[in-house]
Amino acid sequence: MQTKKDILEYASDLFLRYGPRKTTMEDVARICRIGKATLYKFFRNKDELYREILRNEMEYIFQEMEKETGNIKSVREKLRRLFETEYILLRSNMNLPEILVSTYENNDKEIKSIVSEFFDRQRKIIRSILQEGVTSKEIVVEDISLLSLAMVAAGQGLFSYFRNIKDKKKAIKSMEYLIDTLFFGIEAGRERI
């Protein structure tokens, strides 16, 4: 008998390979080597199963981002590592990236809610990092809330642009450039590192 965790893992691979439209509960039951009745004990329907997969992936990404940034003191390095970790995880064959990129095409209110929660949590983390920097006088920011929103939007744009590009180093370099630009601004006459 498979556990709920096993079912989610197998189903995630199926959804990733065939997409949510083409994946059926029969497919999931078959790959898990359980009966459909057993599968329905865990999940009412395919949509519920898929949403659970997305929530698990989202939680995993945030746990990893927290782990990667937890011991870093520099705001600049913390932001760089945050974006890099998120980018690498989203590229690693998870279901969540396509949903994040195509959220406006999806009519499922619960999936839109999951996407909204993802960006809200990301923004909250960025706001917290920026607040740490302001408190420690490492940075000066007039409106942390507005800057965190801009950073989430910029990160979304970079991910959308680079998600199908094979050159991971180029994508990460672009994210580092975004962070450098944030820290040094684009005003003429400033000394650059």
Tokens 């992936």 found at: 57
Q: Which residues of 6-23 are buried (b: 16+ CB within 10 A; e: fewer)?
A: ebbebbbebbbeeebeeb
Residue 109 shares a structural domain with residue 14: no
Please count the structural domains in the chain. 2
pLDDT at 129: 94
- Domain shared by 180 and 95, yes or no: yes
pTM over 0.85: no
Provide the domain limits for residue 14: 1-43
Alpha helices (H) along 43-185: 46-69, 75-91, 96-101, 109-135, 144-162, 168-184
Domain assignment present for residue 70? The answer is: yes
Q: Is residue 110 part of a domain?
A: yes
Q: What is the CATH number of the domain that holds 35?
A: 1.10.10.60
Is the domain of 76 the same as that of 131? yes
Question: How do residues 45-104 score in pLDDT, each as one tens digit?
Answer: 999 999 999 899 899 999 999 999 989 999 999 998 998 888 888 877 667 776 776 655
Token pair for 78 = 């913390």
Mean pLDDT across the chain: 84
Query: Considering the domain boundaries, does residue 15 fall inside one?
Result: yes
pLDDT at 107 over 80: no
What's residue 124's pLDDT?
96
Q: Is residue 192 part of a domain?
A: no
Q: How far, rounded to the nearest angstrom, does the alpha carbon of residue 102 sit from its chain's CA centroid?
A: 13
